[in-house]
Amino acid sequence: MSGSDQGRGSDVLEVQDRARFEQLVLPHLDAAFNLARWLLRNRADSEDVAQEAMLRACRFFRGFHGGDARAWLLQIVRNTCYTWLEKNRPVELMSEFDEELHQQPSVSPETLAIAGDNRERLTRALETLPPRFREVLVLREFEGCSYKEIASITAIPIGTVMSALARARQRLQRALTHSSPQEATREL
């Protein structure tokens, strides 16, 4: 962090707040990093952004009055990631968030199982999804978040979490089965 950041970060936590922060928020550092890594798609940027998000969490901690600390932190991480993306990779955020569920032939579980067993291919397929699809999948499948938590983290109405997940999973299936790894890379 730069010197100015340290200046901004000074004296924001009282001693007892620090203890609470370590108890409630710090245990979710893995979750914070994992979400950043999947939103930004590389580890170095994710480390910087996750660090910035933790600093913001420190600053806002007085405003946290109990409840779901993980969801509270992930909301900050997500916002920090989007701010970073807007500044550094605005093109990525312009990908359309299509509301249509495409008609597509059913993929057999066996076909998917084979495609999904390839770790590289699964990673690329996830990374080709627009961030807004990627984040609901990461929160649901990696983080095990409930719909309520996903709604509060991503600021989408709880009633639309189910359809957002439906679209995201459909896109992931398509990316896994309809494109070879090479094509998936080119789409980036």
Considering the complex, what minimum distance in angstroms separates the CB of residue 115 from another protein? 8
By C-beta, is 15 or 91 nearer to another protein? 15
Reference 138, options 155, 160, 118, 123; nearest CA is 123
Reference 11, options 61, 77, 86, 63; nearest CA is 61
Identity of residue 123: T
By C-beta, is 63 or 109 nearer to another protein? 109
User: For tokens 């993306």, what's the residue?
Assistant: 85
Q: How far is CA 157 from CA 52, 132, 147, 160, in A?
A: 27, 14, 10, 6
Considering the complex, what minimum distance in angstroms separates the CB of residue 131 from another protein? 16
Distance, in Å, from the CA atom of 47 to the CA atom of 45, rounded to the nearest integer, reads 5
Considering the complex, what minimum distance in angstroms separates the CB of residue 98 from another protein? 15
Q: Which residues bind another protein (CB under 8 A)?
A: 1, 6, 9-16, 18-23, 26, 29-30, 32-34, 37-38, 43, 47, 50-51, 54-55, 58-59, 101, 106-110, 112-113, 115-117, 119, 122-123, 126, 137, 140-142, 146-147, 162-163, 165-166, 169, 172-173, 176
By C-beta, is 28 or 75 nearer to another protein? 28
Considering the complex, what minimum distance in angstroms separates the CB of residue 94 from another protein? 26
In eight-state DSSP terms, residue 99 is -
